[in-house]
Amino acid sequence: MTERLPPAIFLMGPTASGKTDLALALADALPCELISVDSALIYRGMDIGTAKPDKATLARYPHRLVDIRDPAESYSAAEFRADALAAMAEITARGRIPLLVGGTMLYYKALLEGLADMPGADPAVRAELEAWAAVEGWEALHRELARVDPESAARIHPNDPQRLVRALEVYRVSGLSMTAHRQRQMAQNGGLQAPGVGQLPYTVAQFAIAPEQRQVLHERIARRFHLMLEQGFVEEVEALRLREDLHAGLPSIRAVGYRQVWDYLDGRLSCEEMAERGIIATRQLAKRQFTWLRGWESLYWLDSLASDNLTRALKYLRAVSIL
């Protein structure tokens, strides 16, 4: 008889969908410990613009993988996978359930499927690609990606320069597209395509939460961005700018919202333009998250506006033998 794998819960969804509130409710109801799956929450000193839970909430509901990097540092999907697996193992060893919550879909994918053996960064190739974008715009690079790797181009937005450059860098350095690297890895894994099969040693229940009406999410995003400004988002970025080692090219400063406030403080945008572009960028992020989720297998969807999400989630967890 095959030994049963320990349980884990994934709670995914677009930005501003209510993931954190449901995660806290689940943590009250179950013997769970929280692990953040958010590429912005890793940074110390970036609290308001990332909608990081406040200190009181984090004290009552500790989150692993929050405030683990300085904004001057980078953090890869491979590093996340290693850190998350270690945290999950610790939680499981105490007889508790890892509850992973956040919206960085690449991190979930890395955790479930592992990472293809991609070539390392090449500064010369990267500089060449960035120089090309400076002359012809990111749309030109996206057209090139669509030519050499249509699947990655469909997944990567033209306004996502970090991932766009990386995808083209992989192709130029190795002669193979990211898609080809992943297909080769899948073949080495025995052709397994189901998320988590042969990769993640857990029985995983996967939830996604979002409003059924996209307009509702857009309204929530706008309200939250204006609330962040009221809470001191601009002042938070001003404090970051006082550091001489931070600049607009870093992954931390390119985070949604921070880039727009940085441009405002550089005098490139008016306050109204900054808010408008910050909201648009957040909506684009949510759209990319939905794109990931539409292709996700074995998801149990919850409506952000429903009043019985905790009850439904617990019922589903019992049905799939997580509890």
Please report the pLDDT score of residue 188 as a whole number: 66
Whether residue 14 contacts residue 210, with contact meaning beta carbons closer than 8 Å, is answered with yes
Place of tokens 């004290």: 59
Same domain, 280 and 219: yes
Please report the pLDDT score of residue 2 as a whole number: 55
Any domain includes 196: no
Same domain, 177 and 293: no
Please report the pLDDT score of residue 260 as a whole number: 98
Please report the pLDDT score of residue 189 as a whole number: 59
Q: Where are the beta strands (DSSP E) in the chain?
A: 7-12, 32-36, 63-64, 97-101, 203-210, 299-303
Please report the pLDDT score of residue 4 as a whole number: 83
Whether residue 32 contacts residue 98, with contact meaning beta carbons closer than 8 Å, is answered with yes
Any domain includes 197: no
Same domain, 150 and 272: no
Same domain, 259 and 149: no
Give the up-direction half-sphere exposure of residue 294: CA atoms within 13 A in the CB hemisphere: 8
Burial of 186 (0-12, 13-18, 19+ CB in 10 A): middle
Which among 304, 307, 306, 87 is positioned nearest to 216, based on CA atoms? Answer: 304
Domain's final residue, options 145, 160, 185? 185
Any domain includes 195: no
The DSSP annotation for 148-170 comes to H-HHHHHHS-TT-HHHHHHHHHH
Task: Work out how many domains the chain is built from and give that number.
Answer: 2
Could you give the strand order of the β-sheet that contains 203-210, starting from the edge strand earlier in sequence?
Answer: 63-64, 32-36, 97-101, 7-12, 203-210, 299-303
Same domain, 209 and 238: yes
Same domain, 175 and 313: no
Same domain, 180 and 301: no
Residue 177 sits in a domain whose CATH number is 1.10.20.140
Any domain includes 229: yes
pLDDT one-digit tens code per residue, 165-196: 999 999 999 899 998 988 887 776 554 443 33
Any domain includes 190: no
The residue segments making up the domain with residue 12 are 1-114+202-323
Question: For residue 312, what are the contacts with CB-CB under 8 A and spacing of at least 6?
Answer: 302, 306
Same domain, 96 and 7: yes
Any domain includes 192: no
Same domain, 2 and 105: yes
Residue 61 sits in a domain whose CATH number is 3.40.50.300
Same domain, 58 and 144: no
Predicted structure pTM score: 0.83
DSSP character at residue 43: B
Tokens of 184: 């080769």
Please report the pLDDT score of residue 122 as a whole number: 87
pLDDT < 70 stretches in the chain = 1-2, 188-198
Same domain, 224 and 108: yes
Any domain includes 236: yes
Same domain, 97 and 234: yes
